Structure 1
Amino acid sequence: MSSSALPKPQMCDLLAKCLRFHIVGAIIVSLEVAASYEFGVAEPRKKAYADFYKNDSTKDFEEMRKAGVFQSTK
């Protein structure tokens, strides 16, 4: 019976190598999620707020007040 020697499993620095791989993956995924949130949610929201506040609503309010739409203001 001939037995060939099996290679020893790597035990030294095994945790460090696995952590390096998973930390790099986690950083890449988190950056992708942050970028997609920024361009998918935050930018359209900023644009919507800017468009809303661009119009001066005081003129519309005065016209509606003169037309008698509001009963609590004179």
Structure 2
Amino acid sequence: MTSHHVSKSGVAYPDDLVLLKRIYDQVCEERGIIPGTPEASELAVQAMRLFSAGIFDEDTIGRRLRHG
């Protein structure tokens, strides 16, 4: 994981969005989800919910999205 500012408030800063996008892209590819589909939109919502709930670790977010 790269070293960058991580929000502790649940507010997504630009570096946080890069992290979330990377996780989203990986999970979409692994699960065969096509960006722009309802399934992809739900995945993005789930990622933001996890982040807003205070889960900032890339591995944890990815694991939860892969098994959620």
Which bracket does the TM-score occupy, shorter chain normalised? under 0.3
TM-score where L is the length of structure 1: 0.25
Q: Could you say which structure has the higher helix fraction? A: 1
With CA pairs under 8 Å and 6+ residues apart, which has the higher RCO, 1 or 2? 2
Q: TM-score normalized by structure 2?
A: 0.27
